Amino acid sequence: MRRRRSEFIYLLILVLSMYMMVFSTAGFLVKLFFGSLYIIALFITLFSLMLENRSSHHTLLWMGILVFLPIGGYIFYLFSGQLYLKGHLFKTKRRKDRAEWKDLVNDITDPDLSFLNDHQRCFSTFAKNTSQTSFSTGTNTKVLKNGKETFAEIITELEKAQDYIHIEYYIFRSDRIGKKVMEILSDKARAGVEVLFTFDAAGSMKLDKKAIQDLKDAGVNVQPFLPLKYGFFNQKLNFRNHRKIIIIDGKVGFVGGLNVGDEYLGKNKEIGFWRDTHLKVEGEAVYTLHTVFLLDWEYVSGEDVLTERPQLKQTDKKGDGAVQVVASGPDTQQGIMSDFYYGLFSCATKSIWIATPYFVPNEAIRAALKVAAKKGVQVRLMIPKINDGFLTQYASRSFFAELLNEGVEVYSYTKGFLHQKVIIVDGDMASIGTANMDMRSFHLNFEVNVFMLENSSIADLVSHYESDIADSELVELSEYKQRSLAERSKESFARLFSDVL
């Protein structure tokens, strides 16, 4: 908090000094004083930037911006999210979560993964060494395609709840499907079922206040994640909880790309058809997914609830392949989801299929894809033809040339809006979750993905991906090179913001 206050003090000093030097009628000595104050504040800011040890070109770029656009540049610098990539804002949560997580996994023994093939074992070893947790072999999964399948399954399981419902969403609407879910939550709470509900304060900004109060009146414990009221002053406005988690009685879990709202059922005429993927989880991985929720709940509620919950369990019941839940964000190891994606791509021997709505990758991800393509691995990237944001749409397109030149196949999904976050490698490894392939998901947002090896659900993902290819247009390099100057300008402009998208 002290550091954040000092940065706003520097900003005020810059503004005041600039005003006194340029607009004030004060005498020479007064202007000299404020000029010196301005230089000192700017020097301290530039020195602090240098100590962050970013790449040299990023450091020099920001220094140039701060020198030549001091006021506007400093404000953008503060709220770009780059200043806190090391997680200063969530140091306490991260430290507490790691300690509790270590206690939970202490008694977990490594499962027998001898059934994995070489490239699967390549990734499982990487995943274990990176996250300090192993894959589960006592988990079963079910792929849910689009909103119709997902909400039908969620509602069915919610109505079965007997002990508790724990639910966490980035976007939760007060529309028809949202009200249906809230009605079930209220009914269950009145019946004595424990219902904990947290939503991201920015993503669910339009969630009706009366609906929230109705939930509370019914006995639902409701907590917003990172309220916006003080976000400007503590800079947490830029960090959002993008996770979508439901845990029911510790037996069933849901995670994936779908938020709660009618638009995810394709009922928003402006957006049209919504293509998405969700996952139902049963077995050991539910405990891990539940732990992710409970750590978030402790943060928003201030309650110490994790020690009162069932520990991570291993079961003798054989599951389907190997499954691992991975959480990422400012409260975890920096850039862990990017590392997992990179590790997955590095272990590929035949194919890498990616479906993501937002493709603004870092240099490591781009290098992994290009190297894989050069080795003869089939690399396919599918993104929506029309995105829901100007910057994300054109920033994504700005990466087409370097990928197409290396033989990567790029497809534009034309049937509607593609929102799923799915990766399939070699047809027998996959990832489903909330994390997009962009800097915001890699560094700023709280995310959670499920990674699967030798799991029967992967066959469903392959089938769905092939169907989506039929609803997509292949981007030809020759045609892409002939795009207009206006299109190239939009791409170049949007790419300037790639580090914060």
pLDDT tens, position by position, 88-127: 567 677 677 767 766 666 666 778 899 999 999 999 999 9
For domain 336-500, give the fold. Endonuclease; Chain A (3.30.870)
pLDDT band at 85 (very low <50, low <70, confident <90, very high): very low
Whether the per-residue pLDDT at 152 is higher than 70: the answer is yes
- The confidence score (pLDDT) of residue 137 equals 92
Share of the chain above pLDDT 90, in %: 58
- Residue tagged 């119709």 (tokens): 148
Pairwise pLDDT comparison (362 vs 44), residue with the higher score: 362
Measure the CA dihedral 16/17/23/25, to 10°: 110
- The confidence score (pLDDT) of residue 48 equals 74
- The confidence score (pLDDT) of residue 477 equals 92
Amino acid letter, 338: S
Phi, psi (5° rounding) for residue 437? Answer: -100, 65
Whether the per-residue pLDDT at 338 is higher than 90: the answer is yes
For domain 138-318, give the fold. Endonuclease; Chain A (3.30.870)
**How confident is the model over 261-266, as a mean pLDDT?**
94
| Mean pLDDT score of the chain | 87
pLDDT tens, position by position, 209-246: 999 999 999 999 999 998 877 544 555 667 889 999 99
pLDDT tens, position by position, 267-283: 988 888 999 999 999 99
**How confident is the model over 189-204, as a mean pLDDT?**
96
- The confidence score (pLDDT) of residue 57 equals 62
Whether the per-residue pLDDT at 157 is higher than 50: the answer is yes
Domain ranges of the chain: 2-79, 138-318, 336-500
Question: Which region among 1-5, 45-49, 363-367 has the lowest average model confidence (pLDDT)?
Answer: 1-5
- The confidence score (pLDDT) of residue 194 equals 96
- The confidence score (pLDDT) of residue 2 equals 55
Q: What angle do CA 338, 339, 344 make, to 5 degrees?
A: 100
Q: Which residues does the annotation mark as catalytic? A: 242, 244, 249, 419, 421, 426
Residue 209, both tokens: 């206040």
d(CA 401, CA 417): 23
Can 138-318 and 336-500 be said to share one CATH topology?
yes
**How confident is the model over 387-402, as a mean pLDDT?**
88
Residue 268, both tokens: 């928003």
d(CA 273, CA 386): 12
- The confidence score (pLDDT) of residue 82 equals 47
pTM of the predicted protein model:
0.86
Q: Give the relative orientation of helices 28-51 and 70-79 as an angle to the nearest 10 degrees.
A: 30
- The confidence score (pLDDT) of residue 472 equals 97
- The confidence score (pLDDT) of residue 333 equals 78
d(CA 385, CA 275): 12
Whether the per-residue pLDDT at 5 is higher than 80: the answer is no
- The confidence score (pLDDT) of residue 310 equals 58
